[in-house]
Every structure is written in C-alpha cells, then in structure tokens.
Amino acid sequence: MVDMNQDLEKISGVSNMMWIDDLFLSDIIPEGTLPGGQRNLSDVFGIPGDKLVVMVIDLLDMIMDIPIESRTSIDSMKSYIDTNKTVLNKNSGTEYTKKWPEYDKEYKQFYNTAIIMLGLFPEANSFDLTQIDMIASQIDGFYKRDQNNFGYALVQISFENSDYDKKTLTAIDEIQEFMEGKGYKISLVGNAAITHNSVSVMSSETTSAMVIAVLIVLAVLLLTTSSYWESILLLIPMGVSILINMGSNLIMPQISYMTNSIASVLQLALTMDYSIYLLNRFKQEKARGLSSNEAMAEAMAHGAKAISSASLTTIASFVALMFMSYRLGLDMGIVLAKGVVFSMVSVFFLLPVLTLYTEKLISKTAHKTFNLSFRKFSGKLLKHRVWMPVFLIALLAIGAVFQAQNLFTYGQEASMGGDGTPIATSRDEVEGIFGRQNQALVLLNYAMFDTDGDNSLDEIEKAAFNEREIQLSERLIQIPGIKSVQCWATIESAGASAILPDSYAAQFKGQDSSRVILFLDVPEEGVETTELVMQINSTIEEIYQDRIDLTGIRPYHIGNSAATLVIKTLVTKDYDIITYISLALVALIILIAFKSLLLPIILVVTIQGAIYVNMAVPYFQQEPIVFVGYMLVSAILLGATIDYAIVVTSHYMEHRQNMNKYNAMQHALADSARTLMTSGGILTFSGLALAMTTSSPATAVFGNAIFRGGILSFAFVITLLPQLLVIFDSAIRATTFRGKKLMMDNRLCSLAPDVVEKSITLKAPKKKRPSQLEREQEIIDAIIAGIESHNIEEPTTFNPGITIEKKEDIKELTDFMEETVPLYEEDIPQKKKNYFPKEMDEFSPPETRKRIRKKIPESEPEIPEDNEE
C-alpha cells in the first residue's frame, strides 16, 4: 500500500495523498540525533514501509490495552509491559504470519527498537501518553478491519485543480485504472468523486436520452400528422438548430455537465411547436384554395405573431435564469436561450423552403390520421362553463399552497449522488466501514491576533491564538453530532507534535491561517444538520466575537453541510427573483403582442397555475425534491407551455373578428388542437425520456416535472383557458387596443360555419388518377354545389363593425364558400399536372360521390402523366 501511494502521487493532477504512512514513514528523526542527518523511519528500523505501518498499528493497539494510569510516560509504559508480557504477545497478531512468517519475532524486535528510539527524543519522558487515544483515533480513520478480519485502507487524495477541472477528472480515471490493474476494488467518495461520476454517467446518458427523445418525437408526429414525410420534415429544422446551438457552446468558457446533458432534449421539446404551428397554418391556408407560395406567405405572416411571441416568452424565462446567484442559472439560461433563437431562425428560414420543395412528397406519403376538431369536447366546455372554471381555479389555489410545502434538498450529494447511483453505492460502502465522512473545517486567520500588525505572531500572540483555538475545540466537541475535533494547538499541548511529520502538520497549519478539523456524525443536509451547522456558527461567533470586532476579520466555517446551508439561502432568494422577472417579462411580451391589458393576466394565471399543481405532486407523494431542479423547471415550463396558451388565444382573437365568443372558442380549439397535442406530446414524452435514462436526482427532477408539466399545462390550456376567454370576453374587448374593431359585438355576429379541422385529410388519397370523365363530372358538381350554396337564404343583418376601406381587402371567400368543393389544381390558372386535391372527398356532397361511382366504370383508363387540356 505504501509503494502504491507513492505511484499514485506521480499521477498528473494529484497534489497530495494522505495515509497513515505519512505519520510513520516520514523524515521525523531530528538532524544531528543520528549519523547521516534526517532519516526515514523505515530506513532506521530496516523494515519495509508496509510492514512498518502494520507494526505501528499493532503497537498503538497494545498501548491502548495498557491502563491509563500506567501510560503517564515512556518509562511507566515500558515498566508495565515488562511486568505483563501477555500484552506484548497479544498484539503481535498471527494474521500476518501468512505474509510474513517471522512477523511475531520481528514485531518484538520492533518494539524494543522503538523504545530505544523514543529515548533519543529529549521530550520522550514528557509525552502525555494518556492522549494516545487521539493518535489511535487518527489511525482508525485510515485503516480498519471488518468482522472477517479483512483490512480496508482509507486514503485521502488532494488534487491540484478544482473538482470540475478536466485534469482532475482525468486523474481520477487514471487512479481507477491503476488500482483495478493492481487487482484492488476501490470506492471513491467526496466532491471530486461525485463530479467525476456525474460527468461520466451523464456523458453516456445524454446520447441515450437524445435517441429515445427523437424516437418518441417521431412516433408522436406519425400519430398526429397526415403524412410520413411531414414527420421527417418537422424534425430537420430542429436537428439543424440543435447542432448549431451545441456547436456555438465553444464560444463559452465552459458549460456545466448538467446543462450539456439536458440542453439538446429540452431544446427539441420546447421549440418543436414552432415548426408544427407553421406547417399546420400552411395546410389551413392551402385548404382555402391558395397556391403553395401564397399559402406559405400567408402562413408566415399569420404565424409570425404567434411564433415570435411564443419564442420571446421562452427566451424571457431563460433570461430570468441568468439573474441567479447560482452559477448554473447563468450557464443554462444562455445555452437554452441561444437554442430558442436558433430554432426560431430555422423555422422561418429553412422550414418554408423545405416544405415548398418537397410538397409533392408530402402528398404522396399521406396517411390516415385522427380528426382533432374537439367539436364535442368544446361543446361540453360551453355546457359546463358555470361550475368548471370555479373548480379548476380552486385546484390552482390548492397547488399554489402545497407546492411551497415540499421537502427540498439543496446539497451536491442530493443533486448528483442520490440513492441507486454508483456514487451512492460507493458512499454506503465507505460509511459501512469507516462511518460517515462528513468533514468540516474552521479557518482561523492569524491576523485576528496580530496586535502589532507585522504579519506574524510573536510568542505572546501565538500563545493567545493557541489558547483560543483549544477553547474552541473543547466547546465544539461538547456539541452533539460532532464525533471528533482536531487542531494543532491540542496536539502541541499534548506533546505529540514532536513525533508527527511536517506533512501531517501541514494539514492543520497554513501560511496565513490554522485549521480546526471537525468530523460530523450527521447527514450532509437535513433538519438535524442545519441545526448543528447553526450551533457551530454561533459557538465560533461567541468565542471570537471580540477579535472580530477589533480586527474586522472573521473565522470561516466551511464544508459540505455549511455550503449546503449557504446554497439554500442563495437559491431561495434566487427563486423569488427569477419568478418575478420571468412572470413580468412573459406578461410584457404578451401585452405587446396582443395589445391587451387583461390577456397577459389570463394566460399567465393559467400556465403558472398548472405549474403550481405540477410542483405540488411531490408533496402529496411525500418525496424530497432537489430545489435547484424545481426552480429551473418552474422557469422553463413557464416559457415552454405559455406557447400553448398563446396559440389558442391567437386563434380565438382571429375568429372573434367575425364570430361570437362561443363559436370563436370552438373554432380556436379546432384550429389549435393538432398543434397542442403534437407539441404537448413531444414535451411530455421528452421529459419522460430524461427521467428514464438518468441516474442523477437533479436531472430526474427535470424529467419527471417536465413530463407532468406537459400534461397539466395541456389540460389547463384546453379546459380553463377557453372558458376564461369566454367569461372575460367583454372585459378583453374593452381592455384591448382597438378591441371594438378587432372583436365583433356578439349580438351582431352571423351564423358561423361548422367546427371542422379543414386542413387535415382523414382518408388516404387514391393512388389512381381520376379519369377524364370523372374530372369533368366533379367540375360540374362543384359548380352546381357552389350555386346552390349561394342560394341559401339567410337573414341579413347590418354590421357596422365591418368596413371595407381598400379593394385589396376583398380576398377571402365567405365562410360558406370554404365549405364548397374545390376545383382541381390543374384547372386553376397557372397550375399544371396536379389533379384534384385529396381534400375533394371530404368536402364533396355524399350524393356527388355516389353519382361518380355509378357513372364511371372502374375500367376507365387513367390519364397519362403528360396529358394536358
């Protein structure tokens, strides 16, 4: 083990390795005591290092068996052993005889030599061997045996760089490879080990999560779109934007492994609805009879408002994260905000080109899909519009109350080393042998006692400093929850400093300060730990308050538990900041987009309420939740799912230009249903993919919360939001800029067309082209149907809210004309080779389809590809 430690210290990035060999094998023989100057104990005794360590442990065990009254000095201890030979025989154990057959004889020689060697020290007879328990406890912290007499060594490793530095992570890889090559099973614990485990695990999990997310997204798209190629088409802009975003991370000094592990999946889940909305809008415009170029131009013009508003609200939530004191917020906010910008650019510049270029492929790969008009559902919403909003708002209030009562965790161990992870397994193995490894430090600056300001302590100042340090140690050891307290002043006062090497002393004494080391018998965080940390802080303040007041210099209490308490204070404050900033920015963007004072309130209440209900679920499940994950997910969900509310509201306000509020609500749901279900399904199952593939508790919080949040946000957007829009319709009209012109008076609206999803073909197109006779008959039927539609007598109502100022405004057909049978595209001017669109079967009267089947024989020859009329 001794030789192995020396080899490990040679690994690049390793600063120091501390084991009991540092106590017993260092150059501690004073110069001049022996010929040759300073000597190594292993050389002096002529015993190999590993055997010498074992003998020293046996020697300390033997001393512990001597009654305390008989170890007041070296002479008294030797006298007791000479009288009681069984003590010497008892501890020269036989378990080492297999490795060293002459161990028992060599041990007794070592004892005799050690007694002689100790006599060389002037301070030998002044050693207070009643304090040998302290040294024995030090040994206990480095080496133990289990019930099967199997030995375990605990080595403390210090690194030259931070826990997150690549050199440190590489050094840990080399340590693992070296030890496994020697046949040792090792368990790594500590902050650097947690970081290393998280980085290595998440590197592999990121790929798995991304693959699963893409497969899930593809499955959702296949179910909710009407074409196989359409599913691929929607993914292409997202893939391009994700690659650009991840590549642009090179401009940043560094990004956290957590951000790197979830950014791609989140970007896909959060921005996929931009592509879906634009493509669905294009299909709706095509269904109105516009050419492909005109339909895309109209889709981009109408979609610009909804997509830009949705993207800006998402960016606003990520900008809010940048105001966090916690470094992770800035890191994640920048990366995700970039991703949204790149996604929006890809949707507006790449998707239209690909859609127009591959439009024929969309038609050729069409397949059956669901009718998502939500006609019956929206009718039931109107039927229950009295009690349902009250129930849903009450549910939001309950969620708001209980989401704040969650059991939150804040520490690094809870975030990255939860139960079931490899690092948790290692921690349990180490604690099972050596107990809890929760260490804390108190840094005491020498300047607190430098009364003359010469940056050094004279004898009097040093004595005062040591006296106060011993006082602190004595007070701290009395606090329940502290297993042991170590400080150099106590070691010096016991006279043990002379036999300890400088490398060991360096663990306590620094150039500017001294360290008091505490071993805590409490978890890293929890109620008990918080109370203990606060008690330690108050004890330090009490003992050093006069020096703090005099010099302005404070002692520092550091360690994982102390850091966790600081993180808790910081992130709790951060949560309030990012919540207020994100809500304010999102509301401001909605206000600008819709030019309405009431709509931002309605939309934010709906989405934030869904988030509250989502975050209240862990409370009722009695599960702890990582606060950092809770905070980040709350901001992310606000920016992501507010898009759903914006899409529904955009369609509602558009239909309110010529429909009453009830019809407008139904048509808004019909127009939004496919976009909401597709993007909501993608967000939901992407979160599930994260939760299924990760072993990090913080990332699992992300995944589970996004999974639930996607479902709840979708549910509240299609239930609560439409009813709030209807209930507050008059107030919205009054608080919207030019609301009376943009929203018709409900009493003056004419009869609206039936609620259908016109942009979707429910049946697959026929593979055979229609014959010439079929096409002529369809044209005649279409003309007849149009004439009959115009002959419908409807009461004429004067509508002062509609004015025609320009000739160009008369572009769109009336609502009933949209129900008529469209012509073949080949018969429309400037269009060739495209036959009757697949929408014909949906909008042709049933009797027309029957006449076609009767009049046209199935054996009618098909029209050649190049036939033109």
Query: Which of 747, 782, 811 is at the close of a domain?
Result: 747
Specify the higher pLDDT residue, 639 or 25: 639
* pLDDT tens digit sequence for 67-100: 777 767 777 777 777 777 777 766 555 556 666 7
Specify the higher pLDDT residue, 196 or 138: 196
Name the packing angle between helices 459-477 and 527-551 (round to 10°). Answer: 160
The answer, yes or no, to whether residue 407 has pLDDT greater than 90, is no
My answer on whether 394 and 458 are in the same domain is no
% of the chain residues with pLDDT over 90: 15
Cβ atoms < 10 Å from Cβ of 759: 20
Number of domains composing the chain: 4
Query: Which of 565, 583, 618 is at the close of a domain?
Result: 565
CB 574 within 8 A of CB 317: no
Cβ atoms < 10 Å from Cβ of 715: 14
- The domain in which residue 721 lies consists of 195-413+596-747
In a domain, 341, yes or no: yes
For 426, the 3-state DSSP assignment is helix
At residue 713 the predicted structure's pLDDT band, cuts being 50, 70 and 90, is: very high
| pLDDT score for 611 | 92
My answer on whether 779 and 684 are in the same domain is no
CB 716 within 8 A of CB 610: yes
My answer on whether 612 and 723 are in the same domain is yes
| pLDDT score for 824 | 44
Query: Which of 523, 550, 565 is at the close of a domain?
Result: 565
Name the packing angle between helices 422-434 and 191-224 (round to 10°). Answer: 150
In a domain, 477, yes or no: yes
My answer on whether 288 and 373 are in the same domain is yes
My answer on whether 266 and 312 are in the same domain is yes
* pLDDT tens digit sequence for 371-395: 666 778 888 888 888 889 999 999 9
In a domain, 572, yes or no: no
Cα separation, 504 vs 822, in Å, equals 90
In a domain, 241, yes or no: yes
My answer on whether 781 and 743 are in the same domain is no
My answer on whether 511 and 464 are in the same domain is yes
Cα separation, 590 vs 588, in Å, equals 5
In a domain, 288, yes or no: yes
Distances 426 to 178, 430, 520 between C-alpha atoms, Å: 18, 6, 19
| pLDDT score for 755 | 64
CB 38 within 8 A of CB 53: no
In a domain, 384, yes or no: yes
Rounded to two decimals, the pTM is 0.66
My answer on whether 742 and 846 are in the same domain is no
Per residue, the 3-state secondary structure of 787-853, as one string, reads HHHHCCCCCCCCCCCCCCCCHHHCCCCCCCHHHCCCCCHHHCCCCCCCCCCCCHHHHCCHHHHHHHH
* pLDDT tens digit sequence for 316-371: 888 888 888 777 788 888 999 999 999 999 999 999 999 999 988 988 888 877 76
| CA atoms in the 13 A half-sphere facing the CB of 796 | 1
Instruction: Give the CATH number, domain containing residue 549.
Output: 3.30.70
In a domain, 760, yes or no: no
Cα separation, 444 vs 514, in Å, equals 5
| pLDDT score for 859 | 43
Burial string for 113-122 (b: 16+ CB within 10 Å, else e) reads ebeebbeebe
Specify the higher pLDDT residue, 450 or 372: 450
First CA to last CA across the chain, in angstroms?
93
My answer on whether 305 and 236 are in the same domain is yes
| pLDDT score for 242 | 92
Distances 301 to 312, 392, 416 between C-alpha atoms, Å: 17, 35, 46
Cα separation, 762 vs 216, in Å, equals 23
My answer on whether 662 and 803 are in the same domain is no
CA-CA-CA-CA dihedral for 687, 690, 695, 701, to nearest 10: -20
Cβ atoms < 10 Å from Cβ of 826: 16
What is the DSSP-derived secondary structure letter of residue 420? T
Q: In whole numbers, what is the pLDDT of the chain averaged over residues?
A: 76
Cα separation, 630 vs 617, in Å, equals 12
My answer on whether 222 and 361 are in the same domain is yes
The answer, yes or no, to whether residue 630 has pLDDT greater than 60, is yes
CB 693 within 8 A of CB 735: no
| CA atoms in the 13 A half-sphere facing the CB of 257 | 22
In a domain, 258, yes or no: yes
My answer on whether 311 and 271 are in the same domain is yes
